[in-house]
Structure 1
Amino acid sequence: MAGIANIAALYLLWESEERRKRKRRRLWVHDILRRRPQLGEFHHLLQELRLDDGRFQRFLATGDSFRTIATSFRVGASTVASIVSKGVTAIWDCLVEEFMAVPTTEDWRLIAQQFEEQWNFPLCCGAIDGKHVVLKAPANSGSQFFNYKGTFSIVLLAVVDADKCFRIIDVGGYGRTSDGGILANSVFGQALRAGDLKLPADRVLSAAAQRGPLPHVFVADEAFPLRTDLMRPFPGRILPRERRVFNYRLSRARLMVENAFGILSSQWRIYRRVIELRPELAERCVKATCVLHNLLRRTAPTAAVRDCLPVGVVLPLPGLGRVAANNAGREAIRIRETFTSYFSAEGTVSWHDTIV
Structure 2
Amino acid sequence: MNPDSVLSKQRAFQVVCALICSEKQKQKNKNKRIWKRECLERREQPGLSVLQSESEMTDENGIGDLWMTAEEFEFLLRMVGPLITKQHTKMRRAISPRDRLSVTLRFLATGDIKIVTDLAIGNFKGVFLYILYFISYAGKTFSSLSAQYRIGASTISQIVMETCGALYQLMKKDFLKTPSTETEWRAIARDFESKWQFPHCLGALGGKQIHIQPPAKSGCLDNNNKGRLYVTIIAAVDANYKFICTSVGTQEKVSDAELFTHSDLCKEMDQGLLNFPPPEPLPNSDIMMPYVFVGDEAHPLRPDLMKPYPNKQMDQSQRVLNYRLSRARRVAENAFSILTNRLRFFRSTVYLEPDKVIKITMASLCIHNFLCERKSKAYTTPAIADLKNGDHSMVEGTWKNQGNESFQPVEQKREPNALVTVETQRNLLRDYFVSQADCIPLQEEHI
Task: Tell me how far 1:330 sits from its aligned partner.
Answer: 1.9
The Cα shift of 1:127 comes to 0.1
Give the Cα separation in 1 of the matches to 2:243 and 2:148: 33
Contact kept, 8 Å, 1:88 with 1:288, in 2: the verdict is yes
CA, structure 1 residues 98+32, in 2 after alignment: closer, same or farther (shift >3 Å)? same
| Deviation of 1:277 (Å) | 1.4
CA–CA distance in structure 1, aligned partners of residues 208 and 410 of structure 2 = 14
Query: Which protein has greater RCO, CA pairs closer than 8 Å, 6+ apart?
Result: 1
2:283 to 206, 214, 221: 206
Alpha-carbon separation, structure 2, partners of 1:161 and 1:175: 28
Q: Determine helix, strand or coil for the equivalent of 2:249.
A: strand
Paired position in structure 1 for 2:331: 256
What is aligned with 2:111?
63
Find 2:161's aligned residue among 43, 68, 85.
85
Q: Percent identity?
A: 33
1:201, CA displacement in angstroms?
1.7
Give the alignment of 1:1-356 within 5 angstroms. 27-38=34-45, 41-42=48-49, 44-49=50-55, 51=57, 54-55=63-64, 56=66, 57-65=105-113, 66-103=142-179, 104-143=181-220, 152-209=229-286, 211=287, 213-302=288-377, 304-306=379-381, 307-312=384-389, 313-315=392-394, 321-323=410-412, 326=415, 327-345=417-435, 346-356=437-447
| Letter of the 1:30 counterpart | R
SS of the residue aligned with 1:258? helix
Letter of the 1:72 counterpart: Q
SS of residue matched to 1:58: helix
- Report how far residue 143 of structure 1 moved: 4.5
Structure 1's 35 and 146: CA in aligned 2 closer, same or farther, altered over 3 A? farther
Partners of 1:251 and 1:199 in 2: how far apart?
Answer: 22
**Stretches of structure 1 lacking an aligned partner (at least 5 in a row):** 1-24
SS for the counterpart of 2:302 is coil
**CA distance, structure 2, for counterparts of residue 58 and residue 315 of structure 1:** 33
Flag the structure with larger Rg.
Answer: 2
CA 1:146–1:232: 2 relative to 1, 3 Å: farther
Could you tell which deviates more after superposition, 153-162 or 294-303?
294-303
Matching residue's letter, 1:310: L
SS at match of 1:196: coil
Unaligned runs of 5+ in 2: 1-31, 67-104, 114-141, 396-407
The letter of the residue matching 1:203 is: E
> Residue 236 of structure 2 contacts residue 246 of structure 2 at CA under 8 Å; is this kept in 1?
yes
**For 1:117-173, what per-residue CA distance to the aligned partner results, in whole angstroms no more than 9, with x for missing partners?**
11111100000011122323443344599999x965321111101111111111124
State how far apart, in whole Å, the 1-side matches of 2:111 and 2:365 are.
Answer: 15
Matched-pair contact (CA < 8 Å) for 2:56–2:63:
no
What do you get for the CA RMSD once the two structures are aligned?
Answer: 2.8
Residue 3 of structure 1 corresponds to none
CA distance in 1, matches of 2:323, 2:222: 33
The one-letter code of the counterpart of 2:42 is: R
In 1, the alpha carbon distance for the partners of 2:375 and 2:241 equals: 14
Kept after mapping to 2: 8 A contact 1:146/1:152? no
Query: Stretches of 4+ moved more than 4 A in 1?
Result: 25-28, 49-53, 142-148
What secondary structure does 1:233 align onto? coil
Query: How many angstroms apart in 2 are the aligned matches of 1:118 and 1:99?
Result: 21
CA distance in structure 2 between the aligned counterparts of 1:113 and 1:85, rounded to whole angstroms: 38
